[in-house]
């Protein structure tokens, strides 16, 4: 996916089926290493991050089979604790989950680099602190990060400085192999962390506290293969709901878990949306004009940082929004780079530290560059609201998290083309 061309200005109507969660799929795929057996994944999204994760597993010896009906069957038996190619691991942030999974299964792990979107400093110090508490030693070799637990892993009481999803998942995987009890305090409680707990439990792990800020793992048991269905992607669902707000119209997102989107739905209602919430679907009818609000991101169940840019784009739309909107980013540094591209379309924004204030203006079509996955989605939403041709380059970043993007948007009436 090299570029996306949008001829905007049309309202959106219809239904869209939400796929499996990228953020849930990545830790699940790597956690399967712990079993050393066959695992079957249903509703696995075919987005570039997930496909790269499968390539990493294949390069390390996993046998992967795509089953008729859409399931993916992975045999982890022949995997080896080798150093994966930096060309692969450097492309996705989720490759960092190799550390906890490999350490848990083999007592050692190597990683040359973990990529993904660059939001300034995204250190893995909390991951390493947790591994050290479990008994792993850290060193570098030819530029690669290496971990080894020469005397095995033992349970520990670990308190995270902040509820990091990545650190929680990584420590959780290693803890399943550690003898005795491990307690992870100030743990992340995002739905994809709960999904990982459920997968590990199905594989034979003993974990309590799922969905809370304190996880307790009784480790040391051998895990076995199992089947898991990837939870629906709450960020994809939120993006399509935002698209309806940006372009106007009425859109139903299907195959969703509304409880995962509580903070998001609250903001949409505050902005004037009419919502009909069912058991597995949400219908949004956009108001004639949205009300700008102040949104602050934070760990779940607060408003998710991965929907920050999409909502911020709504605040910038003079054709759709009234009043000044503010976005306060409390999770990732340097998340505001998408605003430089919105300005090319005519947006007016003032950034001060972790706060951005948007002054709605009439935007115009332009050639813009997607800076990252969610920032690119924000540019796409802005393009949908503007009459005329907008071209988004570096669109591969958007393909990292949205499956069948062109097909889904066209089914809603959008004039959109994906190239490359």
Confidence of residue 114 (pLDDT cuts 50, 70, 90): low
Mean pLDDT of 293-303: 97
Looking at the structure, do residues 85 and 70 belong to the same domain, yes or no?
yes
pLDDT in tens, 200-239: 999 999 999 999 999 999 999 999 999 999 999 999 999 9
Cα distances from 396 to residues 153, 154, 240, 291, 370, in angstroms, run 39, 42, 19, 32, 9
Average pLDDT across the chain, whole number? 95
The widest CA-to-CA distance across the chain, in whole angstroms, is: 65
Cα distances from 245 to residues 206, 290, 376, in angstroms, run 43, 8, 17
The domain in which residue 239 lies consists of 3-19+233-419
Looking at the structure, do residues 118 and 130 belong to the same domain, yes or no?
yes
Looking at the structure, do residues 238 and 212 belong to the same domain, yes or no?
no
pLDDT in tens, 231-243: 999 999 999 999 9
User: Which of 177, 195, 229 is the last residue before a domain boundary?
Assistant: 229
Alpha carbon distance, N-terminus to C-terminus of the chain? 4
Looking at the structure, do residues 37 and 163 belong to the same domain, yes or no?
yes
Cα distances from 12 to residues 69, 238, 245, 285, in angstroms, run 30, 15, 9, 10
Cα–Cα distance, 90 to 160 (Å, whole number):
25
User: Which of 203, 229, 255 is the last residue before a domain boundary?
Assistant: 229
Looking at the structure, do residues 325 and 237 belong to the same domain, yes or no?
yes
Looking at the structure, do residues 40 and 163 belong to the same domain, yes or no?
yes
Looking at the structure, do residues 136 and 266 belong to the same domain, yes or no?
no
Contacts with 259 (C-beta within 8 Å, 6 or more apart), sequence order? none
CB neighbours of residue 208 within 10 Å: 13
Number of domains in the chain: 2
Looking at the structure, do residues 253 and 143 belong to the same domain, yes or no?
no
Among this protein's residues, is 117 annotated catalytic?
Answer: yes
b/e per residue 18-29 (b: at least 16 CB within 10 A):
bbbbbbbbbbbb
User: Which of 229, 252, 272 is the last residue before a domain boundary?
Assistant: 229
pLDDT in tens, 61-98: 999 999 988 999 999 999 999 888 887 887 788 899 99
Active-site residue (options: 39, 73, 87, 117): 117
Looking at the structure, do residues 290 and 415 belong to the same domain, yes or no?
yes
Looking at the structure, do residues 296 and 372 belong to the same domain, yes or no?
yes
pTM: predicted TM-score of the whole model, two decimal places: 0.95
Looking at the structure, do residues 222 and 239 belong to the same domain, yes or no?
no
Nearest to 77 by CA among 31, 25, 35: 35
What is the domain-level CATH number for residue 146?
Answer: 3.65.10.10
Looking at the structure, do residues 189 and 241 belong to the same domain, yes or no?
no
């Amino acid at each position: 996916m090299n570029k996306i061309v949008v001829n905007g200005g049309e309202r959106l109507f219809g239904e869209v089926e939400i796929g499996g969660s990228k953020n849930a799929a990545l830790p699940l795929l790597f956690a399967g290493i712990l079993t050393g057996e066959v695992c079957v994944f249903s509703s696995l999204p075919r987005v570039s991050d997930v496909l790269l994760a499968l390539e990493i597993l294949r390069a390390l010896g996993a046998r992967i089979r795509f089953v008729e009906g859409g399931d993916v069957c992975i045999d982890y038996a022949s995997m080896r604790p080798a150093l994966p190619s930096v060309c692969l691991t450097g492309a996705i942030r989720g490759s960092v989950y190799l550390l906890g999974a490999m350490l848990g299964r083999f007592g050692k792990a190597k990683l040359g680099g973990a990529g993904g979107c660059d939001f300034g400093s995204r250190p893995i110090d909390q991951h390493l602190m947790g591994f050290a508490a479990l008994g792993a030693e850290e060193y570098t070799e030819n530029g690669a990060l290496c971990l080894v637990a020469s005397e095995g892993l033992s349970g520990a009481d670990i308190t995270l400085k902040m509820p990091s999803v990545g650190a929680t998942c990584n420590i959780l995987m290693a803890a399943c192999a550690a003898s005795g009890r491990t307690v992870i305090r100030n743990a992340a409680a995002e739905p994809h962390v709960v999904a990982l707990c459920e997968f590990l439990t199905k594989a034979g792990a003993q974990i309590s506290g799922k969905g809370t800020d304190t996880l307790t793992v009784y480790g040391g048991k051998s895990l076995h293969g199992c089947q898991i269905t990837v939870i629906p992607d709450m960020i994809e669902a939120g993006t399509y709901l935002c698209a309806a707000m940006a372009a106007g119209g009425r859109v139903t997102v299907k195959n969703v878990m509304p409880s995962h989107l509580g903070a998001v739905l609250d903001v949409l209602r505050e902005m004037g949306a009419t919502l009909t919430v069912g058991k597995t679907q949400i219908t949004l009818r956009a108001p004639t004009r949205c009300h700008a609000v102040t949104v602050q991101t934070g760990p779940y169940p607060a408003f998710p940082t991965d929907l920050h840019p999409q909502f911020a784009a709504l605040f910038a739309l003079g054709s759709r929004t009234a009043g000044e909107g503010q976005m306060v980013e409390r999770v990732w540094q340097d998340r505001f780079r998408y605003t430089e591209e919105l300005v090319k379309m005519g947006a007016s924004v003032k950034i001060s530290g972790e706060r951005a204030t948007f002054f709605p203006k009439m935007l115009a079509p332009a050639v813009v560059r997607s800076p990252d996955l969610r920032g690119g989605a924000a540019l796409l939403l802005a393009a949908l609201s503007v009459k005329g041709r907008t071209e988004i380059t570096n669109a591969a970043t958007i393909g990292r998290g949205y499956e069948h993007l062109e097909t889904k948007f066209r089914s809603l009436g959008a004039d959109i083309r994906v190239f490359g």
